[in-house]
Amino acid sequence: MLPRNFNIIMLAAALSVLCHVTYRNTRTASILGEAIELIEQNYVDPVDQQALVSAAMKGVVSQLDQHSSYFAVDDYESFRDSINQEFAGIGIYVEQPVESAPVRVITPLVGSPALQAGVLPGDEILRVNGEDVSSMALTDVSDRLKGPPGTQVKLRVRRAESEVALSVERATIELESVIGDHRDKDNRWVYRLKSQPSVAYVRLKSFGEKTVRELEEILAELNNDFDALVLDLRGNGGGLLYAACDVCDMFLSGGPIVSTRTRGGIIDESYSATPGTLVREDIPVAVLIDENSASASEIVAACLQDNQRALIVGTRSYGKGTVQEVMPLQYGRSALRLTVAKYYRPNNHNIHRDPDDDETDEWGVVPNPGYVIPMDGSSLMKLSLMWRAASFPLLAGVNPPAPEDLVPVMPNPDSENTEGAGNEFSGGGAVEDASPPTKPVELSAEARRNVQRGPEALSIDPPLRAAVGYLLRRGESGAANSASESAEGPGDSQPQDTEPRKSAA
């Protein structure tokens, strides 16, 4: 056979294979496109093509796990805002309690343009730049409030019985993910417990793009000038995997952090701590978790527990041990969030809670023995209102809801709808709100003793009270003297591997 003929045959074979692969890849898409085209041409009423595509995409991902999802254009923009921890707007949290009623301001953010312009909690937004928005949906009003930093937006709001005209200059609003116990007279966060200043207190609301930098700056400012540290991850639904790993690395000078495994159990990535820490290794640490601590929060809690670096206090975590990757579609206008791996804690357990798992199965991060401390509905509500007042000083004492009208939301009051930013911070997906227990909370005798041994000033928050009691005893006995600590009872022993877990981001 002539070489020229052989080359022609090989080229034809290659083209045939390429055509076959292309056909296989486009066949499904062509079926979907054909169906949408038929609907557009023949359906009895006019249809929105983009709405059909969005519905089809959501139908596709609904056949996958609960954490895979499709982001339409608006949803993807809000998701990126939340992960990037910033948006362009005026800096207010808003809500629309009644459909077609005016959108209402929950509160302006501390230091925001809205606060400086005189926007107040309870203001009802009637007009934006002269346009009547009094019956518009919340998302449509939010879209009109957003705009390039430095531009003006004119508002007309209803305040009590009168209407007020305001002009607000838009700016880049940064969403903080790391907060403290209370604010000082200048409205700056204080990262120490008011009743126990020797104990540092840091609450992580999410794991976003700026979380690592925020925490590094806070720990540098504290400069290890504290006897113990509480890391509060309650209500933290997760976020970015790398952020969780970097947070762990601040407390460890070595040892495994987490590993991820793809289809077939193949190890994809393995993360380990690097030499050096931001928190001295002789300073005792406690981590608070609850049923809404998920994903990246579970990576941190499981890592510090397995490496015996922290005591875990609270209730069993959510149990999300999968990793999602966000894959842009439509040239970056929309996106597919797809579960691509599972993560494994240092003890090689994956703690994902499958749909058919119950309380007897192995999932979630479980607090150390003697430190499983749930909270009743009344305590949850008091804590939620306290967090709300600390985060938003203007809301302190302003129309506090009646207890019977409230459902505790442990992810914290900061998770309200925000102009320009979505509610969901993270790769962990939305985590359900906590509901008040229907019967009184029962503690084990050991857990009750550990709560009582904590400072009475923290009685509003039993898990924190127990954690601080443990930390103070550790400090008194000396971090290196584990023998004296173990003599206090099994609940006060060094953190142990108690339960397998998983994390996702």
List the catalytic residue out of 82, 295, 317, 384: 295
Tell the residue number behind the tokens 């952020």, with chain if given: 243
Of how many residues is the chain composed?
505
CA–CA separation, 265 and 148 (whole Å): 46
330: Cβ–Cβ under 8 A, 6 or more apart, which residues? 73
Q: Please say whether the beta carbons of 299 and 289 come within 8 A.
A: no
Which residue type occupies 447?
A
Active site residue 306: yes
User: How big is the chain by its Cα radius of gyration, in Å?
Assistant: 26
The predicted model scores a pTM of: 0.80
DSSP state of 250: T
The pLDDT profile of the chain, 505 residues, written as one tens digit per residue, is: 555 655 565 556 565 655 555 545 555 566 777 888 888 888 888 888 888 888 888 888 889 988 999 998 878 888 888 888 888 899 999 999 899 999 999 999 988 999 999 999 999 999 999 999 999 999 899 989 999 999 999 999 999 989 999 999 999 998 899 999 999 999 999 999 999 999 999 999 999 999 999 999 999 999 999 999 999 999 999 999 999 999 999 999 999 999 999 998 888 899 999 999 999 999 999 999 999 999 999 999 999 999 999 999 999 999 999 999 999 988 888 899 999 999 999 999 988 998 888 888 889 999 999 999 999 888 888 898 899 889 888 876 555 544 433 333 333 323 333 333 332 222 233 333 334 444 567 899 999 999 999 999 999 999 999 999 999 998 877 644 443 333 333 333 333 333 322 223 3
Tell the residue number behind the tokens 């320009």, with chain if given: 420
Question: What pLDDT does 353 receive?
Answer: 92
Q: What is the DSSP string of 287-350?
A: EEE-TT--THHHHHHHHHHHTT--EEEES------EEEEEEEEGGGTEEEEEEEEEEE-TTS--
For residue range 231-285, list pLDDT tens digits in order.
Answer: 999 999 999 999 999 999 999 999 999 999 999 888 889 999 999 999 999 999 9
> How big is the CA angle at 214 (ends 225 and 228), to the nearest 5 degrees?
30
Question: What pLDDT does 1 receive?
Answer: 54
Tokens of 374: 């749930």
Tell the residue number behind the tokens 């407390």, with chain if given: 251
Phi, psi of 149 (to 5 degrees): -55, 140
Which residue type occupies 90?
I
215: Cβ–Cβ under 8 A, 6 or more apart, which residues? 178, 202, 204, 247, 250
List the catalytic residue out of 210, 320, 342, 502: 320
CA–CA separation, 200 and 179 (whole Å): 12
| Short-list 320, 321, 319, 301, CA closest to 311 | 301
Q: Please say whether the beta carbons of 61 and 324 come within 8 A.
A: no
How far apart are the two ends of the chain, measured CA to CA in Å? 58
CA–CA separation, 90 and 117 (whole Å): 9
158: Cβ–Cβ under 8 A, 6 or more apart, which residues? 102, 123, 124, 126, 164
List the catalytic residue out of 181, 232, 249, 306: 306
